[in-house]
Every structure is written in C-alpha cells, then in structure tokens.
Chain A
Amino acid sequence: MSAGHGHHHHERPASAVELRARALEALLAERGLVSTDAIDAVVELYENDIGPQNGAAVVGRAWVDDAYRERLLADGNSAIAELGFGGAEADNLVAVANTPTVHNLIVCTLCSCYPWPLLGLPPTWYKSPPYRARAVSEPRAVLREFGVELGAEVEIRVWDSSAEVRYLVVPMRPEGTEGMSETELAALVTRDCMVGTALPRL
C-alpha cells in the first residue's frame, strides 16, 4: 500500500484503504468500465429495498398460515418467491424451524455466506473472526453474549453454510400474540431472530 494520508476536506483524514477504494472506483469510471450509477444502484438495493423486513414478512406469514409454513420448510425457494423474494445468495434457501426442544443457529466459518434477499448484507459481527470461530465450538457461550439463555433440554443445531445453501431460522411465535395481525407479528421478528442469535419478544 503506497497511498498515504491525503489533505481532503473530510471530517477526518481518509485512511489508506479508503483512498485506494476511491481510486479504484475513479479508475474504472474514467475508463468507462464500471458506471457510478450501477454502483449506486447496488448500494441502494441493499440499503432500501432488501433487508430483514423481507425475512420478517416470511416468518410472519409462516406464523399465521400453517400451509405456508409447511411449504416454506419443504421448499424455501418457492415459498419465498410467493412473497416476491429471491435472488443472489438465496439460490438454495433452506428454512429451519425452532421448536421447544430445538434451537437453530446460522454461521459461515469459512467466509460470510448469508441469505441476502431475506436479511440484506450481514452485520459486522457475523463476518468477524470471533463469531466464525466460536459459533461451531461454543454456541451457548456465544448466545449468552447476545442475552439468549436456553435450557439444557434444548438441542442447539448450528448450520455452517459451507456450500451454496443459505439458511433462514424460523423462530417460535411468542406466547401472548394470539390476537396480532401478520404485519404486527412480522414487526417482532428481528434480523438476529432469523440468524438464531435472538428470540422474538413482545
């Protein structure tokens, strides 16, 4: 890395890596190889259109519609397509359901595989060495950091996304939600609930 710190009118000096990233974009744009509006479109897609609200809609539907839940667990791709979702990094979606005796947790120890069309781009912790190292070797200790304590009767099933399958955790519907609408229910379903590092709460 030869780039030093510049003298830009920023709140703080750009790091060498940031300068290099800006230089690569400028280089490709100047040569007409990558368009800035295509870059903007990708960034905006995952900031505005695609995020955990998609996965939450899927879970909300599964909580109110038993037939949909069965279809989701049997064929994830088709079930999420019913709600208009799908695409890159959900090429082979498998939904796994939590029960009173099973809790599912998703990780990618080798990299950062994650169901983008349902959850957006992964949080930093998901891609970081501590989570990738520990989720498969001490899941209860990891869950405790997230404030999740599970009884000894619960089998934890950790899914390491080592191939092209992407996973979605379908959490259990909380008690006391009997009168709630599908939309109200979906609002209880956070991103971490669908990775397995949180439980939905009223």
Chain B
Amino acid sequence: MRRVDGVHDMGGMHGFGPVVETGGELPYREPWEPRVFAIQMLISAEGLGAGPGGRATREEMDPAHYLAASYYERWLYSAEQRLLRRGTIAPGDVEAMVVRLEAGETMPPHADAAMAERILDELRTAHPMGPAPAQGAFSPGQRVRVRRMHPQGHTRCPRYVRGAVGVVEAVRGVDRLPDRATYGEKIQPEPVYSVSFSSEELWGAGQEPAFTVLLDLWASYMEPA
C-alpha cells in the first residue's frame, strides 16, 4: 500500500522532546540490531527481496508502529516484507522459527566465505551519480519554487519545503527520480540540485536568528520562481 505524506517526514514536527539522551550516542543498543542491519544489506546484495527498496518499505509501516518502533525494528520490518514479496520466505515462517527457538532449538551457523567477500566488496564500492549535464532545467543562482504536491508513496521532497522559494546553489549530478525508481520503473536520470532556503521562507519569523537550510532536490520537484 502506498501512503501519502508519511510520518517519517519529520522536518519541523514538534513534540518529540530532547535530542540528547543517555545512551543516544551509541549506534545501537542491542546486539541483534547490527545483525538486522547486516541482513538487510545482504537481502539487497544477494537479490533475496522484491518490491520497493528497504527505505520505501519502512515508510509503509503503520504510522503509530513507525513512531513506536526502534530504528532497527523498522529495518527488521522492511527485511521481512521484502523477503515475503520475493517469496524467499512465506507468511508464518518467521513465527514458526520463533517457536522452535523458544523451545530451545539451537541453529547451527551457515558459513559462506564467498558471500562475506561479496558484501564487503559491495560496501567498499561507491556508486556515484552521473555527471552534471552542461545544460539542465535550472542554473546556479536561479530562484526556484518547490512544487506543491503530495506524491503517492516514496519521495525525497520533504513536506516542509513544498511551495517554498529557494536558490539553486550547485548541480550535484544526475540520478533517477526515487519516487518512481524505487518502484522499479525504468526511467532516465535527471539533474539533482543543491537548493538553499531561508529560515523565514520555511518557517516564518522565528525565535532564532535567521539561518539557511539546504536540500538536494531532483529537477521534477521544482519550477522556475
């Protein structure tokens, strides 16, 4: 199910409390968490999943569950969903294994040194965007307005910049629009621009001195201002 304007789109939301909390400086809190991270990486690298990518899948979570879940619980959710869609696992398989583990069964490790090598190679390899085109839709210094829109499903255009006017600062390169690419559509790459916005434009006059927010936005998200 595709959702519109998910709860993951958090810029400017309120009520979440302090940033600095005890234990928050660690990348994870439980030993199972980095293992779920690794499993998600391997599902992608080994082609065991299907459907939208892990990130778009996490955004499909029930909003109350998304907010209540820990970060790596969300990753566990997306790992399972992508495996189910591919048919790598069937509904009930995970629950059945939970029962076996709870009954005291121990599972032997499965070794595959070549798979370990493959994933390390992949994680050490960068996949840069294509080079910026000589002539694109917009140019550095140009004023642009972010389109008012509520895309169905995944997007990288946060709510808080829609409708706002900013200034193109740089062309980053070309990349496929994630709104369509994550659903498997075969589309051509388009330019991605670094765009700056004043805090007044985004939030109105605030309690803090003026500041600047910069985002990297695909050409499709914008129109000339």
Contacts and interface: CB of A to CB of B under 8 A. Distances in A.
A121 interface: yes
B163 interface: no
B67 interface: yes
Interface residues of A, number: 83
B38 A42 contact: yes
A125 B123 contact: no
Contacts of A41: 38, 116, 119-120
B199 to A, nearest CB: 8
B13, B19, B38 interface centre (most CB from chain A within 10 Å): B19
B98 A124 contact: no
Contact of A42 (B18, B37, B101): B37
A38 B39 CA distance: 9
A174 interface: no
Contacts of B76: 17, 20-21, 24
Contacts of B129: 91-92, 164
Nearest to B154: A110
Nearest to B9: A110
Contacts of B17: 130
B28 to A, nearest CB: 7
A187 interface: no
B24 A136 contact: no
A67 interface: no
B125 A88 contact: yes
A111 to B, nearest CB: 6
A77, A130, A162 interface centre (most CB from chain B within 10 Å): A162
